[in-house]
Amino acid sequence: MWKDFVRGLWADNPTFRLNIGLCPVLAVTVSALNGLSMGLATTLVLICSSALISLLKNLIPAKVRIPAFIIVIATFVTIVDLVMHAYLPDLHSVLGLFIPLIVVNCIVLGRAEAFAAKHSVLRSAVDGIGMGLGFTWALTLLGAIRELLGSGSLFGMALLPEGATTLGIMSLPPGAFITLGLLMAMMNMITARQKKTAS
Amino acid sequence: MSLFTILLSALLVNNFVLVRFLGICPFMGVSKDVDSAIGMGLATTFVMVVAAAATWLIQWFILEPLGLPFLQTLSFILVIASMVQLVEMFLHKTSPGLYRAMGIFLPLITTNCAILGFAIMGVQNSYSFIETVIFGLGAGLGFTLALMLMAGIREEMQFADIPKPLRGVGIAFIVAGLLSLAFGGFAGLV
């Protein structure tokens, strides 16, 4: 059970290791808070849909499983979308298009197909939590770096004095690509070093 | 907005991949050689144009009159998935050559967020039918353009001496960042 949880955090981290579900990673991470909330919204969908799909795995015929999974996922996404619209309207307008697009996030469908369709409800839910949190920390880290360098603040709190020069490019699309590329290189270096010390 | 403006805006100024971050997974996955990049791009463009027409009709003739816009995400993704299936069957029957060329890419298109994304965007902008179709065409061609540029660069990069940790996806993202910077030059064109 513990293994199911930690796998998503590091060894099979969806962003840095599996390189899936990258669109929201790049698009919403202008600030740390946006990254965190997008991550948590995806985590919620992931836990609910993994648990329900695992519950229904013996009822869904193998031939139509992909459309059935998509319907389950789309239902939970619609719920999250409507709840956020009602209670967090500011956040909802910032994340905008990328909330409904959780439906086509490969992480959710990927975990449904690769894990939830074969394992018990509890294990699937735990796997969902691990993968979701792995995705969340990646988004929050990228958001924090871009917010710090791009607008000199962190979680909305200004850290640099008024009028300090910031790297405006970090808030623009090129900044997202370049930061993620460098972060991936860093993860590769850490893994290579771990392997070296292990052997 | 004129039709040409919509086309140009979706193709260059707000390029779906490099500026709006839609369809990053196929952009990274299928950009290793130019031939498959063109195949993937054209298959996606085709599905986008068909999906543009279908989702427009569903939104304004079924969901809006019946007061069901909250079913938008659910119905759009189902329509796109079945469109992809239909296109696959149609190509298989009518043009086996094209089917073999595009075959492996077709199932992947369902989970391309550029398609669902542009369909929802079209509704948000309340485009007319013809505008939605042109928007789909521009978005698809923009995706193809970005994919082809990326594939061309990655083919050349095979002979470059890249620092070890950056190899693979890392350098691809940095190249994408530079491409995105270049596309920033189109801002203000429309």
The pLDDT tens digits for B73-128 are 999 998 888 888 887 888 788 888 777 766 667 777 887 889 999 999 999 999 99
Residues of B whose CB is below 8 A from A77 = 73
**pLDDT single digits (tens) B128-171:** 999 999 999 999 999 999 999 999 999 999 888 999 888 888 99
3-class SS of residue B168: coil
Residue found under tokens 């690509």: A177
- Minimum-distance CB partner of A184 among B170, B178, B180: B170
Cβ–Cβ below 8 Å for B174 and A101: no
Nearest to B77 among A74, A172, A189 (CB): A74
DSSP string for B5-69: HHHHIIIIIT-TTTTT--SHHHHHHS-SSHHHHHHHHHHHHHHHHHHHHHHHHHIIIIITTTT-G
ipTM of the complex model: 0.88
Q: Which residues of A touch B70 (CB under 8 A)?
A: 78, 82
Average pLDDT of B53-59?
94
Cα(B17)–Cα(B169) distance, rounded to whole angstroms?
16
- Using alpha carbons only, what angle is made at residue A20 by residues B51 and A168, rounded to the nearest 5 degrees? 90
Q: What is the pLDDT of residue A11?
A: 87
Distance CA B187, CA B13 (A): 5
Which chain A residues contact residue B18 at CB under 8 A? 173
SS3 A158: strand
Count of CB pairs separated by less than 8 Å, A with B? 116
Q: What is the pLDDT of residue A20?
A: 86
Rounded to an integer, what distance in angstroms lies between the CA atom of residue B132 and that of residue A16?
36
Would you state the pLDDT for residue A32? Answer: 94
Task: For chain A, 199 residues long, give each residue's pLDDT as a single digit of tens.
Answer: 888 899 989 888 999 988 888 889 999 999 999 999 999 999 999 999 999 999 999 999 988 888 899 999 999 999 999 999 999 999 999 898 899 999 988 899 889 989 999 999 999 999 999 999 999 999 999 999 999 999 888 998 888 887 788 888 899 999 999 999 999 999 999 988 988 888 7
DSSP A72-139: HHHHHHHHHHHHHHHH-HHHHHHHGGGTGGGGG-HHHHHHIIIIITTS-HHHHHHHHHHHHHHHHHHH
* CB-CB under 8 Å, A100 with B73: yes
Using a CB–CB cutoff of 8 Å, tell me whether B185 touches chain A.
no
Return the half-sphere exposure (C-beta side, CA atoms, 13 A cut-off) of residue A68: 18
Q: Mapping DSSP to helix (H, G, I), strand (E, B) and coil, where does residue B114 land? A: helix
Domain residue extents for chain A: 2-198
Neighbours of B1 (CB within 10 A): 11
A157 phi/psi in degrees, rounded to 5: -90, 125
Cα torsion angle, B162, B168, B174, B180, sign: positive
CA pair distance A174, A163, nearest whole angstrom:
23
- Which two three-digit tokens encode residue B182? 């270049």
Token pair in block for residue B126: 């309340």
What residue ranges do the domains of chain B occupy? 3-183
Please indicate whether, in this complex, the C-beta atoms of A181 and B166 are within 8 angstroms of each other: yes
